[in-house]
Homo-oligomer: A and B are copies of this chain.
Amino acid sequence: MAKKKSAIRRPKAETPKGFRDYFGEQVAVRRDMLAAIAEVYELFGFEPLETPAVETVEALGKYLPDTERPNEGVFAWEEDDGKWLALRYDLTAPLARVAAQYRFDLPSPYRRYAMGPVWRNEKPGPGRFRQFYQCDADTVGSSATGADAEMCAVTASVLEAIGIGRGRYLLRLNNRKILDGVLETAGLAEADEGNEDYRQRTTVLRAIDKLDRVGADGVRQLLQDGREDDSGDFTKGAGLSSGQAELIMAFVGARQKDNAATCSELRRAVAGSPKGTAGIEELLSILDILSGQGIGESRLAVDPSVVRGLGYYTGPVFEAELVANLDEELNSAARIGSVAGGGRYDGLVRRFTGQEVPATGVSIGVDRLSAVLAARASAAGVQSERGPVLITVMDRECMSGYQAMADEIRRLGIRAEVYLGNASSFGRQLKYADKRRSPAAVIEGTQERERGIVQIKDLIAGARVAKTATHAQWKSRPSQFEVERGQLAFAIKRLLDDTRR
């Protein structure tokens, strides 16, 4: 019988490649962060929306960021009826679907936030995951620059709410229309989705978006014939002339010492193109609104190098990045870069209804921010949360009494549990308490029961004493003491209150 079983091939216990498991505090940190973000979004008047993980491939359409083939990069499968379903790759495509589907019922503008995992069917690699969280706020049905300004304002409020204070982040703002004006000036045609010109524009956007990674010369190459990277991989370029490329590079590098100067410089770069000029007016309006809320130069810079790779943006775009002193604090050589971003996309809902519905939004980089907060906490020496008080098991027949102890302690709001493993070794129970970071262990054997007392082992003091305390200190706060059975829960509470102080 046993032989027969061992012949069966066992499944491998492994997380699928590109996916992650989150344990304990990792889950709690993200949960608390999402709760803080939700609170800010709600303060700004956004309502929660939760759509399913699954959408029809038809509804998702071809808007997958930075790919051109429909459905490339999504997890999709065919249904029995021949229809295809897929996991959502972001929260914007489902929003466009909802805005179209419920357009006669929803308030207009429709202001919603959403948070949850999204999935990308990409080759997994270091730092590239196939499931990650997004946390977006969007306003659908407003063409006002006030809506765009608000996206910047809510981003600033979110960052501050989760502990990224002023001076530690910068909002970088641009407008796709200005780039359009520059491209017009450079002789590139306006382009509709799907044709050759559109692909060229997309390639141009993607090239600019890589400025941080490949530098100005790299971008120049990508705008023209293409670029070979260090590994020898060749990326095809946009095929612009060197004159065209220089016009674009001048635009990209147009950031000046302050926003007014940058806007003047941009006005020159668009050379009177009506679209480009309109884009600059929009920026000025956004700057004006934000300055009314006290968001000025120190937190907000007009930066023409911000384009956002996604093809669907049509107006103002922005990114929030963490600034250098925070990086230093983390003692990390790597730039953290963008932790949030968004912009205006006026074309997404039209796919469904044929009517253009203006929309603008922001997406917070939840995983990146969680990592930043965790690294900061760890660098600052913040202790992770304590585990539950452990009721050890000396007599297995007394389980009912041990469980009653845990119950009493929990009634005071303190985490507690009875040791449920093999109780034959007391050492193993204390090891378990250690692994769970228990602040205290409770001990009741026959002797204690007969005397009507319990022993409390102070595991925090115990660990500290072992390391640092003098003998006098050790005597003044013994790491094990006894209390009357009836006083157990209150004694535990007193002990933990003392420890916190």
Choose one: B44, B53, B402, B410; the contact of A53 (CB below 8 Å). B53
From DSSP, what is the main secondary structure of chain A's interface residues? Answer: mixed
Choose one: B42, B51, B75, B436; the contact of A107 (CB below 8 Å). B436
| A101 close to B15 (CB less than 8 A) | yes
Residue of A49, A98, A144, A432 with most partner-chain B CB within 10 A: A144
A463 within 8 A of partner (CB): no
A5 within 8 A of partner (CB): yes
Supplied contacts A75-B77, A157-B410, 19 more A-B pairs, CB within 8 Å: A11-B58, A13-B100, A13-B101, A15-B101, A21-B51, A22-B48, A23-B48, A23-B49, A27-B48, A27-B50, A43-B413, A43-B415, A45-B415, A47-B387, A54-B75, A76-B77, A107-B435, A146-B418, A293-B404
Surface stretch bound by B, among A147-155, A215-223, A445-453, A477-485: A147-155
**Which residues in chain A, 1-24, are within 8 Å of chain B measured between CB atoms?**
5-6, 10-16, 19-24
| A421 close to B141 (CB less than 8 A) | yes
Give chain B residues whose Cβ lies under 8 Å from the Cβ of A285.
399
| A59 close to B292 (CB less than 8 A) | no
Give chain B residues whose Cβ lies under 8 Å from the Cβ of A200.
none
Give chain B residues whose Cβ lies under 8 Å from the Cβ of A6.
354
A400 within 8 A of partner (CB): yes
**Which residues in chain A, 389-434, are within 8 Å of chain B measured between CB atoms?**
396, 399-404, 406-407, 410, 413-418, 420-421, 432
For A22, give the chain B residue with the smallest CB separation. Answer: B50
Question: Within the assembled complex, what's the spacing in Å between the Cα atoms of A150 and B410?
Answer: 13
16 contacts between A and B (CB under 8 A): A6-B354, A13-B98, A14-B101, A21-B49, A22-B49, A22-B50, A23-B47, A35-B35, A43-B410, A43-B413, A44-B417, A109-B420, A292-B400, A292-B403, A292-B404, A294-B407
Number of copies: 2
A288 within 8 A of partner (CB): yes
| B119 close to A53 (CB less than 8 A) | yes
Give chain B residues whose Cβ lies under 8 Å from the Cβ of A432.
107-109
Interface set of A (CB-CB < 8 Å, partner B): 5-6, 10-16, 19-24, 26-28, 31, 35, 38, 42-45, 47-56, 58-59, 61, 75-77, 85, 87, 97-98, 100-102, 107-109, 111, 117, 119, 130-131, 139, 141-142, 144-147, 149-150, 153, 157, 285, 288-289, 291-294, 351-354, 387-388, 396, 399-404, 406-407, 410, 413-418, 420-421, 432, 435-436
| B10 close to A352 (CB less than 8 A) | yes
Choose one: B44, B75, B139; the contact of A410 (CB below 8 Å). B44
For A57, give the chain B residue with the smallest CB separation. Answer: B11
| A5 close to B354 (CB less than 8 A) | yes
Give chain B residues whose Cβ lies under 8 Å from the Cβ of A49.
21-24, 27
Q: How far is the CB of A158 from chain B (nearest CB, A)?
A: 12
| B146 close to A19 (CB less than 8 A) | no
Question: Within the assembled complex, what's the spacing in Å between the Cα atoms of A426 and B94?
Answer: 31
Q: How far is the CB of A111 from chain B (nearest CB, A)?
A: 7
Residue of A24, A61, A353 with most partner-chain B CB within 10 A: A24
Give chain B residues whose Cβ lies under 8 Å from the Cβ of A410.
43-44, 157
